[in-house]
Amino acid sequence: MHIVNYLRRKGEADFTEISELLERESLDQGLKFTISQRTFQRDIKEIYTLYGITIECNKRNAKYFIAEEEETHSNSRMLETFDLYNALKFSSFYLPLIHFEKRVAKGNEHIFALLHAIRNRLLVKFIYSKYYNDESDTRTVEPLLLKEFNGRWYLISRKAGEDTIRTFGLDRISELETLRQKYPASKHFDADEFFKDAFGIFVPVKEEAERVVLSFSKEQGQYVKSYPLHHSQKIITENANEVQLELKVYLSYDFIHELLSYGENIKVISPKLLVNRIKKVLSDALNNQ
């Protein structure tokens, strides 16, 4: 983490400069970060494996630089997590300055076991409880991916022996068991492609993604610009009164409720189908009063 951040900041540095950096960090944190040339070469390989960041050496001046970096959201979040973990683990002085969300979803205790199963392509078996009724049943699935949404974690999987993608909330999983049986490596799952048009975790089977046009108040629009609703978001127009944008997404339950959270600061321009669905949700809410 220190090496990556240092090269991002400086652009390039020789081994002596990197060693001096690690010596300073060792003094600051009371740990031993100092390395040999041999260890440094091993670290370069680890950095590529963990973050998809390629570090090369310019033979003309013997300085190292970041030659290639996979700009993915997951890599960025991983670095952010390590930064925060580092601050908390080695600098307890800062703990009173950070206030964590007290509302934490259940099921996070399954993450490590599921990551192990995904990495080794092992089937998992568990009992799954549904929220909308009192039923529980045993599932055996091929674990493919862990996905986070709104503070909750979900398992994206295939039913063993089938091609259908299934999603399970970790908070509803119990008695998780990793089986010895492996599933075929040939069954490739492209998460980016699968969730390309999704907002949240659910991908409708029988619906196409829609071009959505939204109008936000000027103030709310600044927030949405800095924290986009979706990766497909584009600004159509912006003036003193509004920010109008478009995106391509499925009209899912999660997406509709995200739009409702903006209250009077948003207007749905199109499609008409989305307008009607939002009207129905609001009408049903009024009827419940």
Alpha-carbon span 243 to 237, nearest angstrom: 6
Mean pLDDT of the chain: 85
Rg (CA), the chain: 24
State residue 76's pLDDT score: 61
**Reported pTM:** 0.67
Instruction: Report DSSP state, residue 254.
Output: H
Q: How would DSSP label each residue in 14-53?
A: EHHHHHHHHHHHHHHHTS-----HHHHHHHHHHHHHHH-E
Tokens 């829609």 appear where?
210
Give me the tens of pLDDT residue by residue for the chain, a chain 289 residues long: 888 888 888 889 999 999 998 888 777 666 778 888 899 999 999 888 877 889 999 989 999 999 887 655 556 666 666 666 565 555 566 667 777 777 767 887 888 889 889 988 999 999 998 877 777 889 999 999 999 888 889 999 998 778 888 999 999 999 999 998 988 876 678 888 999 999 988 888 888 999 999 999 999 999 999 999 999 999 999 999 999 999 999 999 999 999 999 999 999 999 999 999 999 999 999 898 7
C-alpha 141, offset from chain centre: 22
Instruction: Tally helices (H) and strands (E) across the chain.
Output: 9, 12
- Residue 173 sits at φ, ψ, to 5 deg, of -95, 135
Q: Take residue 28 and report the two structure tokens written for it.
A: 């600051």
Give how far Cα 232 sits from Cα of 161, 245, 267, 282, Å.
34, 10, 19, 27
